[in-house]
Structure 1
Amino acid sequence: MDAASVATVETHCPYCALQCGMGLRPAAGTGEGASGSVLEVVERTAFPVNRGALCGKGRTAPELLAPGARLTTPLVRDHTTGELVPAGWATALDRVAEGLRRTGARYGRDAVGVFGGGGLTNEKAYALGKFARVVLGTSQIDYNGRFCMSSAAAAQHRAFGLDRGLPFPLADVARTGCVLLVGSNLAETMPPALRYLTELKENGGRLIVVDPRRTRTAEQADLHLAPRPGTDLALALGLLHLVVAEGRTDEEFIAARTSGWPAARAAAMAHWPEQVERITGIPVPQLREAVRLFCDAPASMVLTARGPEQQAKGTDTVGAWINLCLATGRAGRPLSGYGALTGQGNGQGGREHGQKADQLPGYRRLDDPAARRHVAAVWGVEPETLPGPGRSAYELLDALGGEVRALLLMGSNPVVSAPRAAHVEERIRALDFLAVADVVRSETAELADVVLPVAQWAEETGTTTNLEGRVLLRRRAVAPPPGVRTDLEVLGGLARRLGHAKGFPADPEQVFEELRRASAGGPADYSGISYARIAAEDGVFWPCPAGSGASEAAQGASGAVAGASEAVAGAQTASGGPAGPGAHPGTPRLFLDRFATPDGRARFVPVTHRPADEETDAGYPVVLTTGRVLAQYQSGAQTRRVAALNAAAPGPFVELHPRLADRLGIADGEPVAVVSRRGRAVAPARVSAAIRPDTVFMPFHWPGEGRANTLTNPALDPVSGMPEFKVCAVRIERLDGPA
């Protein structure tokens, strides 16, 4: 154990976008905990987001540090046996560099792809995007965060000119009057955040939950609306129709701070309540009650998550909920607004700084000439050498083995997590060359030509950006095991082998300093943020330009500047710690004075309901929706290696209503097959009245025959590139034999 781990180290959980604060200290006893980990978790009660609370995943996270739970040596594919065998780092990196170089030389630079992860730190995401565009010269880079909140990001950008998960701190949620929570089960996906909804109700506020299942979160609601999956857009339009019909619009706010209302109003008025009831299955009296609760409160918020976002019309669906906020004056005001609950640990920062197909660091557009000039100057290259926008995540995966012949993949497991997963697995197998850098030997790593073992959260320092836009510092608490390197060391080693001796340092703080320069003046301006400042202030909210001067925080594609940093900040309070004289305070709350559009007004976008890409029929009469369970996380590559979490959630299941189970003759615990147009999954039945009779639910954390994403539909949102994970048509088949 190195000197850094002698005392308790303040850091953050490696899992979801809450990025809960925690402490790490040496395990008691022999120097290792019962699981073999050298560290144990200590509550960090002073950190404002979770105030010491942690879920089971966070409390057991050190178990993944144990050598038996993770990779500790590079592996290369033996061409004779076909097996992955141990190798030295020089051999492994040489083989990766040669595979990428050979493919690019033979088929062109865009034949080499890069696929990143929403759990990578800001430094690693930044370096990966730079590596793809400068070293490989490829446009083919995207990341699994595309499957997280890309629809919400696109909708926020259309309406507000800027996307940040929450434009206000989580603490504001407990102080508003009404929260309309759409498609989120916080009790299982972000348990420490549930306290904000509990405090909301203790303060006299009201909670409306929209979910086709009566989840543990929905149980807390004053009103639970259970729409048919894929009809959230009609629901939002129906509520806005009632707002207009009942005279509940805020005409003064609409006139002073928005544009485009007449067209959006006309679109909403075409969705009358009885029609919305037929589409969604929600009775008109419940629609009216939702409007009453939302509008009678002195302040209100709409918070969305993957439910409405992971649809082929996700951008329009989120846009409809934003329209509801704007029409009622519930945006750009204290304790009111729209926010998206980012899911992955660094889903926010990961796309801000360059591993998304169409973005450069600082949330700059890759097709903006001014943005290209700025970033190219920081990188020391000519702007014209930077490739243009590439394919979105699923499109990139679908192109593997065809136009994209080699892939460098860091921190993702698409064999389990991607839609139409069996097809994606086939495309990965068709590659000429695959290199995977990961902490564990995931299902995707099993298919690789080279597997590189990399350090994880407690073994390296770096920043992440949580769902509030709060930039945080994860600190190294222990050295990685011998034979393990950091992702930054991997990228530096590959860059040198590919002819770039400089520009890819292994020191994360050095990378962050370059990131600050690259982001300066962009919408996600980090130039006023430093490691020391983050440590002093429990995180800093972006945008935070250097000094107190102007920031181009809201430039549109035209390059028109929306003004100084106040254009997106409004009246602010300091983020909590000493920042030095003249320093920008950071931006906890966006849009209080103006929105980040060229004219400072929020934009209504007219949207109209349309059916899901795939509707039920006689052959596939039931709707499948997917999601997470409390004890597992994402593809399960990490959590399935923790004994306590596996004991709590040992495998997949199919949740179905008693009426559907009776009709099919299915008993609780009996194995059933779920069949879609893309494949077949088998798992035990879980009979529950908490789900709609026309809907079944499967969690997506497991590979093999219970892989839920074998079934899901890759139909893409035309704006965001988000696949339609949350709704597809299936049939249920009864099987014989034990569960």
Structure 2
Amino acid sequence: MHSNSIPLPAATPSARAPQPASLQVRGACPHDCPDTCSLLTTVENGVAIRVQGNPDHPQTGGVLCNKVSRYTERTYHAERLLSPLRRAGPKGSGRFEPVSWDTALGEIAERLKAIAARNPEAIVPYSYCGTMGQVQGEAMAGRFFNRLGASLLDRTICAAAGAEGLTQTLGGKVGMRVEFFADSKLIIIWGSNSIGSNLHFWRYAQVAKRNGARLVCIDPRKSETAEKCHEHIALLPGTDAALALALMHELITHDWLDHDYIARHTLGWPALRERALQWSPERAGGVCGVPAEQIRTLARDYGQCFVDRQPAAIRLNYGMQRVRGGGNATRAVACLPALIGAWRHRAGGLLMSSSSLFPLDRAALQRPDLLAGRTPRTVNMSTIGDDLLRPGSPAFGPKIEALIVYNSNPLAVAPESARVAQGLARDDLFTVVLEQFQTDTADQADFILPATTQLEHWDLHTTYGHTDVLLNRPAIAPLGESRPNTQVFRELAARMGFAEPCFRDDDETLCRAAFGDRVDFQTLLDQGFATLPLPEAPFADGGFPTPSGKCEFFSERLAAQGLDGLPDHLPNHEAAGSSADFPLAMISPPARNFMNSTYVNVKTLRAMEGEPVLEMHPHDAAARGIASGAVVRVFNARGDYRVKAEVSLRARPGVVNGLGIWWRKLGLDGTNVNQLTSQRLTDLGRGPVFYDCLVQVQAA
């Protein structure tokens, strides 16, 4: 326990209204997961005693993942932050003293006023998906920073490259409905460990499997999902576009093509055809590090679905886009369903994200009109390490003087974390962190403000894995002195002198504003979720939300930017085999029992994970004299990371898997795997390249 931990008081019933001794409250899972489950929280005498999946919600079906089923353990954790804290020692010492909210907000407002008087763009918000909620995420916070004129944040750290690739090809983050995977005859799970990160999709895939469907997993790592599929294609990181183009090559040469669909509903086919014919299975196999025959077999299975008029579906996820060519790779894969007319079937096509299908009114929530014509500079969250260390300049803008962190833990999750640590350690940087626990980032703060958990506030959730809107009601009163993000930014706005009426909107009002009359709010109140009225096969007759209305194999928009209008394979910044000093490629997929850096401090889940490990193939381990359990030094030009090795066939030869994302303070030397990742960006979307990373490993 940290030295400043505060004893947990007994929870008390909400002050809003008397509560019965026992009740169930409908809510929504807040985490960065495609499933966005509907929750039922059982409350007795004001205390949440159980969180379970809502059996009345078809997408949840009463089932929760291992992590969220322990949500009460997280809410009532002994180290939960329950009062505002002010730094009481040197920056980074982790030493704090409790102060009142009045003191904390007063001092924060005075510091921000002084900085804003010089240049409000010197203030930078930093947030992501610690909660996916539209209200506790960027609603009141967005209003506050827009009114202030602070720098904008380019929120790229997870899915930006794939989102841009999908948008350039299909017109947005759109796709087939997840429930219809149950009727597919071939399911390709591409760049996803669905069992650990998309459990409810996996349930549909299992229904399909029991009905005779073939399941193929494409992933450098032999994940739990790969083990349970009929076939695993263990390609090298960053070679997915080459594989997709080789599949196209085989579809073309064997004429497994829906010529009618291509002619009516696609754009740029002759040029794509010419490019794909350059990618034989032999060429792609050499790039991907897989047998050419394995590529031919997958192409034959996919093409046969067209011949037999059977639905084939691709579940594409974000693992494959965290490399230099991630946007192009997404584009290449997204072209495949149109070639065989898979979109004609409700159980065919592709799903990466469904988030563009939601008619969310972001402007009503975040009020960009409060910028009043200003255009602040934009800071990319994936390069925050370098940006915190930049001096002011005409090109960059003012030096960052204040960082306000909420819904994120950048010191653990951002790339090249040694640079992030160096930036956060600046004595002249004023840092405020809204948090539930004293994370790595919170250790570097000047003020820590205690945030509520999902059981203690209102929120409204869209999803990116299905097509339901979910409402989260508070089940219990905020513990201790914790406050929702919305309340913190309302009160800061008042102290900054922002008098606009929008800063007085309460959380329920914000929930209602998210969709206006496009989603019936009474339905959300009554059952906790509402399903969007969407067609079963959205692109059976074209109608893609692109400028042309077609699946755009060739993107005029990219060509107008001087980029290649066709998808292509772009080698990694740090391609496997390109460095004698760092001969191993490293990926850093999430540990099964953590959600990014969330849940790392939940004892039961940490016990399941054990400790940070680096998975190594037996061939690579033997060549270095490394045995399972040995401490190894993983290093490259950016840094060193000491961790225990796990010799395992989950790793393919030439690739090591550094499972994340552990808090740095729990590592052997106070670091985690992001000590090694780089701040270089993707081809599209300005995203990070976590899986585009070369290292060497030595016995320590």
TM-score for both structures, normalised by structure 2: 0.87
CA distance in 2, matches of 1:722, 1:602: 23
CA distance in 2, matches of 1:591, 1:401: 51
Amino acid of the structure 1 residue aligned with 2:42: R
- Structure 1 residue 84: Cα displacement: 1.9
2:510 aligned with 1:511: yes
| Residue in 2 that maps onto 1:420 | 416
Amino acid of the structure 1 residue aligned with 2:208: L
Give the conservation status (yes or no) of the 8 Å contact 2:594–2:600.
yes
- Structure 1 residue 12: Cα displacement: 2.5
Where does 1:152-191 land on structure 2 (aligned, <5 Å)?
Answer: 152-164=162-174, 167-191=175-199
2:321 aligned with 1:323: no
Give the conservation status (yes or no) of the 8 Å contact 2:177–2:351.
no
- Over 3 Å counting, the alpha-carbon distance change for 1:382 and 1:142 in structure 2 is closer
2:411 aligned with 1:387: no
- Structure 1 residue 313: Cα displacement: 1.3
Match 2:324 to one of 299, 303, 312: 312
| Residue in 2 that maps onto 1:678 | 638
- Over 3 Å counting, the alpha-carbon distance change for 1:98 and 1:17 in structure 2 is farther
Q: SS state of the match for residue 680, structure 1?
A: strand
| Residue in 2 that maps onto 1:19 | 36
CA distance in 2, matches of 1:708, 1:132: 34
2:444 aligned with 1:432: no
Amino acid of the structure 2 residue aligned with 1:285: E
CA distance in 2, matches of 1:592, 1:540: 26
- Over 3 Å counting, the alpha-carbon distance change for 1:405 and 1:590 in structure 2 is farther
2:74 aligned with 1:74: no
Residue by residue over 1:2-24, the C-alpha shift from the partner in whole angstroms, topping out at 9 and shown as x without a partner, is: 24573011223343331222321
- Over 3 Å counting, the alpha-carbon distance change for 1:621 and 1:599 in structure 2 is closer
Q: SS state of the match for residue 516, structure 1?
A: coil
Match 2:109 to one of 97, 104, 108: 97
| Residue in 2 that maps onto 1:716 | 681
Q: SS state of the match for residue 51, structure 2?
A: strand
2:438 aligned with 1:457: no
Where does 1:399-418 land on structure 2 (aligned, <5 Å)?
Answer: 399-402=387-390, 403-418=399-414
Aligned residues: 647
CA distance in 1, matches of 2:365, 2:455: 33
- Over 3 Å counting, the alpha-carbon distance change for 1:382 and 1:305 in structure 2 is closer
Q: SS state of the match for residue 173, structure 1?
A: helix
For the aligned residues, what is the CA RMSD?
A: 2.6
CA distance in 1, matches of 2:102, 2:529: 38
CA distance in 1, matches of 2:282, 2:623: 29
Q: SS state of the match for residue 275, structure 1?
A: helix
Where does 1:260-659 land on structure 2 (aligned, <5 Å)?
Answer: 260-297=268-305, 298-331=310-343, 333-340=345-352, 348=355, 362=361, 375=363, 379=367, 381=369, 384-387=372-375, 390-402=378-390, 403-430=399-426, 432-466=429-463, 467-501=465-499, 502-505=501-504, 507-516=506-515, 527-536=517-526, 539-541=529-531, 571=535, 589=538, 594-605=543-554, 606-615=566-575, 616-636=578-598, 639-659=599-619
Where does 1:135-154 land on structure 2 (aligned, <5 Å)?
Answer: 135-143=147-155, 146-154=156-164
Amino acid of the structure 2 residue aligned with 1:149: A
Amino acid of the structure 1 residue aligned with 2:508: E
Amino acid of the structure 1 residue aligned with 2:544: F
| Residue in 1 that maps onto 2:239 | 231
Amino acid of the structure 2 residue aligned with 1:439: Q
- Structure 1 residue 295: Cα displacement: 2.2
Q: SS state of the match for residue 468, structure 1?
A: coil
- Over 3 Å counting, the alpha-carbon distance change for 1:395 and 1:685 in structure 2 is closer
CA distance in 1, matches of 2:90, 2:629: 44
Residue by residue over 1:247-297, the C-alpha shift from the partner in whole angstroms, topping out at 9 and shown as x without a partner, is: 112111011111111222222222222111111111111111101222222
2:70 aligned with 1:65: no
| Residue in 2 that maps onto 1:111 | 122
Q: SS state of the match for residue 701, structure 1?
A: coil
Give the conservation status (yes or no) of the 8 Å contact 2:265–2:542.
no
- Structure 1 residue 472: Cα displacement: 0.7
Query: With CA pairs under 8 Å and 6+ residues apart, which has the higher RCO, 1 or 2?
Result: 2
CA distance in 2, matches of 1:507, 1:382: 18
CA distance in 2, matches of 1:380, 1:296: 50
- Structure 1 residue 299: Cα displacement: 1.1
Give the conservation status (yes or no) of the 8 Å contact 1:135–1:498.
no
Q: SS state of the match for residue 659, structure 1?
A: helix
Give the conservation status (yes or no) of the 8 Å contact 2:26–2:528.
no
Residue by residue over 1:474-506, the C-alpha shift from the partner in whole angstroms, topping out at 9 and shown as x without a partner, is: 221111113111111001001111121331236
Amino acid of the structure 1 residue aligned with 2:316: T
- Structure 1 residue 80: Cα displacement: 8.3
Q: SS state of the match for residue 398, structure 1?
A: helix
Match 2:61 to one of 19, 28, 51: 51
Residue by residue over 1:333-392, the C-alpha shift from the partner in whole angstroms, topping out at 9 and shown as x without a partner, is: 4222221168xxxxx59x999xxxxxxx747xxxxxxxxxxx499949577524257233
Would you identify which runs of 4 or more consecutive aligned residues in structure 1 move more than 6 Å? 79-82
- Structure 1 residue 61: Cα displacement: 0.9
Residue by residue over 1:617-658, the C-alpha shift from the partner in whole angstroms, topping out at 9 and shown as x without a partner, is: 11101111111122122014xx12222111101221010011
Larger deviation: 186-195 or 316-325?
186-195
Q: SS state of the match for residue 395, structure 1?
A: helix
Q: Which runs of 5+ in 1 are unaligned?
A: 343-347, 354-360, 364-374, 518-526, 545-568, 573-587
| Residue in 2 that maps onto 1:123 | 135
- Over 3 Å counting, the alpha-carbon distance change for 1:423 and 1:541 in structure 2 is farther
- Structure 1 residue 728: Cα displacement: 0.9
- Structure 1 residue 713: Cα displacement: 2.1
CA distance in 2, matches of 1:120, 1:324: 30
- Over 3 Å counting, the alpha-carbon distance change for 1:380 and 1:607 in structure 2 is closer
CA distance in 1, matches of 2:301, 2:256: 12
CA distance in 2, matches of 1:282, 1:642: 39
Give the conservation status (yes or no) of the 8 Å contact 1:675–1:732.
yes
CA distance in 2, matches of 1:261, 1:388: 40
- Over 3 Å counting, the alpha-carbon distance change for 1:218 and 1:380 in structure 2 is closer
Larger deviation: 328-337 or 712-721?
328-337
CA distance in 2, matches of 1:161, 1:422: 38
- Structure 1 residue 684: Cα displacement: 1.0
Give the conservation status (yes or no) of the 8 Å contact 2:385–2:421.
no
- Over 3 Å counting, the alpha-carbon distance change for 1:206 and 1:324 in structure 2 is same
Q: SS state of the match for residue 388, structure 2?
A: coil
CA distance in 1, matches of 2:259, 2:183: 25
- Over 3 Å counting, the alpha-carbon distance change for 1:422 and 1:601 in structure 2 is same
Amino acid of the structure 1 residue aligned with 2:221: R
CA distance in 1, matches of 2:100, 2:134: 28
| Residue in 2 that maps onto 1:576 | none
- Over 3 Å counting, the alpha-carbon distance change for 1:389 and 1:198 in structure 2 is farther
Q: SS state of the match for residue 624, structure 1?
A: strand
Q: SS state of the match for residue 723, structure 1?
A: coil
Give the conservation status (yes or no) of the 8 Å contact 1:189–1:629.
no
CA distance in 1, matches of 2:217, 2:442: 38
- Over 3 Å counting, the alpha-carbon distance change for 1:67 and 1:692 in structure 2 is closer
- Over 3 Å counting, the alpha-carbon distance change for 1:590 and 1:9 in structure 2 is farther
- Over 3 Å counting, the alpha-carbon distance change for 1:515 and 1:376 in structure 2 is closer
| Residue in 1 that maps onto 2:8 | none
CA distance in 1, matches of 2:652, 2:596: 24
TM-score for both structures, normalised by structure 1: 0.83
Q: SS state of the match for residue 588, structure 2?
A: strand
Identity %: 26
